Amino acid sequence: MKINFKHEKNGENLVIAIAQDYKSLEVLMVAFMNEEALSKTIQTKKAHYFSTSRNKLWLKGESSNNFQHVKEILIDCDMDAILLKVNPDGASCHEGYNSCFFRELDGDKIAKKSYNLDKLDEEDLKIIQARLFNPEDVYK
Amino acid sequence: MKINFKHEKNGENLVIAIAQDYKSLEVLMVAFMNEEALSKTIQTKKAHYFSTSRNKLWLKGESSNNFQHVKEILIDCDMDAILLKVNPDGASCHEGYNSCFFRELDGDKIAKKSYNLDKLDEEDLKIIQARLFNPEDVYK
């Protein structure tokens, strides 16, 4: 029985990792973990991911101090995705929102228009959360 | 402004797609969508994914009749992940559980033992949901 790090990026073997607020049940973000990130998460009870853009281990909160304290670790049927139930110190999104999923796609409007997902207008997306911090104040 | 189908598998460009029960807020599953799957989801309001194992469009429920009726479509900061808030007709997991995340990893036990994520015992994983159907009865 083993965890299936089957998603590959830049030669790194990864699982998908979703973070969900363990109290509000809000989905906060989704990222990837390599084996090191999952091990560190288990050991420290702070969420670690593998940043596929910076190509390195990423302790969530290392820049923003918005750590995610891990309460439960769930694993899916195929053993290739992890769900972390976390207690977040603050906003989880680097854009300053509580969740990275702070915009809603207006499906009815898009369906009527063109189905062209390459050319979405600002008005097709609605911001549904309040901004909790200004990224420029946090990431210097 | 465009959706970033940046995850690549078998030459297919994909976004991550998470399904969450819009009432209970339980995370049900995670999969991928190509542009066609997202377009069909928007048009039909039934969740469509791209099956990376079968390499084709996948209407969730096409075999099991457990469709996911889409209530909201959220998109993340990087525009490369989708969160569907859905009203599911039945269990979302092909193993017969409501959610694919039906097992909890016992982090404390694993941390004490070895950190070896390649060799998990049955006892390191705890099933935390009731089975709603027997897969053999549904997928024939």
pLDDT attached to residue A113? 67
**Helix (H) / strand (E) containing A13:** strand A12-21
Q: Residue B45 carries which side chain, given as an amino acid letter?
A: K
**Smallest CA–CA separation between B48 and chain A, in Å?**
14
Structure confidence at residue B10 (pLDDT): 87
Question: For the complex shown, is ipTM > 0.95?
Answer: no
In the structure, what pLDDT confidence band is assigned to residue A24 with cuts at 50, 70 and 90? very high
Report CB contact under 8 Å: B76, A118.
no
Q: Is B1 on the interface with A (CB under 8 A)?
A: yes
Q: Is the model's pLDDT at A36 over the cut of 80?
A: yes
Q: Is the pLDDT of residue A41 over 70?
A: yes
Contact A115/B43, CB-based, under 8 Å? yes
CA of residue B28 relative to chain centroid, distance: 6
Strand partners, A46: A69
User: How far off is chain B from A123, nearest CA to CA, in Å?
Assistant: 11
Taking alpha carbons only, the member of A128, A66, A131, A125 closest to residue A95 is A131
Give SS3 for A83.
Answer: strand
**A102 HSE (CA, 13 A, CB side):** 17
Average pLDDT value over all residues in chain A: 91
Chain A residues with CB under 8 Å of B122 CB are 1
The answer to whether B70 faces chain A, any CB pair under 8 Å, is yes
Residue among A134, A83, A72 at smallest CA distance from B101? A83
3-class SS letters over chain B: CCCCCCEEECCEEEEEEEEEECCCCCEEEEEEECHHHHHHHHHHCECEEEECCCCEEEECCCCCCCCEEEEEEEECCCCCEEEEEEEECCCCCCCCCCCCCCEEECHHHHHHHCCCCCCCCHHHEEECCCCCCCHHHHCC
Confidence check: pLDDT of A123 > 90: no
Count of Cβ atoms closer than 10 Å to residue A125 Cβ: 20
Q: What residues in A contact B114, CB-CB < 8 Å? A: none
Q: How far is B56 from chain A (nearest CA, A)?
A: 18
CB contact under 8 A, B125 and A101: no
Q: Which residue of B has its CA nearest to A70?
A: B107
| A36 interfaces chain B, CB cutoff of 8 Å | no
Give contacts of B 47-66 with A, CB under 8 A: none
Q: What is the DSSP letter of A97?
A: B
**How large is the average pLDDT for residues A42-56?**
95
The per-residue pLDDT for B4 is: 93
List of chain B residues whose C-beta atoms are within 8 Å of the C-beta of residue A83: 27, 101
CB contact at 8 A, A33 and A41: yes
Whether A85 shows a pLDDT value over 80: the answer reads yes
- Reported confidence tier of residue A46, pLDDT bands at 50, 70, 90: very high
* pLDDT value of position A114: 58
DSSP H helical ranges for A45-115? 107-113
In 10 A of CB B123, how many CB atoms?
A: 8
Under-70 pLDDT residues of chain B: 113-116
Rounded Cα distance, B113 and A35, in Å: 16
pLDDT of residue B81: 97
pLDDT category of residue A110 using cuts at 50, 70 and 90: confident
Structure tokens at B105: 């990893």
Q: Tell me the β-bridge partners of B9.
A: B12
Please give the domain boundaries of chain B with CATH numbers for all domains: 7-88 (3.10.20.810), 103-132 (no CATH)
Flag whether residue A115 sits within 8 Å of chain B, measured between CB atoms: yes
Is residue A97 less than 8 Å (CB to CB) from chain B? yes
